[in-house]
Amino acid sequence: MWGFYKFMYPRAPRSMMPKDGDVTTPRHCDFCGNSLAEYRGVLETKPNLVASSDSASHLSDSHLSDSNSSDSNPQVNKELFFCNNEHQADFHAGKVYSSAD
């Protein structure tokens, strides 16, 4: 039985295991909502602000540069986390995630 489990469920390669200093706390992808360890995904610490139509009218370039230095606008200062580079690109392209059933 031990041989069967070793064959069916082999160990992951060392390159996939966390290294010293990696953050292993689970985070949710801002595009699809999947939970993944932080070291396995893409963390965007200075996200590009994608202004929606209702907030674009009152945000100017000078206001955005001023709010980057302060904590007054949480939408600008929030770190974004994605499962992979494709989810990051789709998020910034304005696409909406739809699960394939």
Q: Residue range 91-101: average pLDDT? A: 85
State the pTM of this model.
0.58
Residue 61 has pLDDT above 50, yes or no: no
Q: Which two tokens stand for residue 81?
A: 């986390």
DSSP class per residue in the chain: -HHHHHHHSPPPPGGGS--TT----EEE-TTT--EEEGGGSEEESSPPP---HHHHTT--HHHHHHHHHSSS-HHHH--EEESSHHHHHHHHHT-------
What mean pLDDT, rounded, does the chain reach?
A: 77
d(CA 61, CA 67): 10
Q: Residue range 51-75: average pLDDT? A: 46
Q: pLDDT tens across 11-22, in order? A: 888 888 889 999
Q: What per-residue confidence (pLDDT) applies to 36?
A: 92
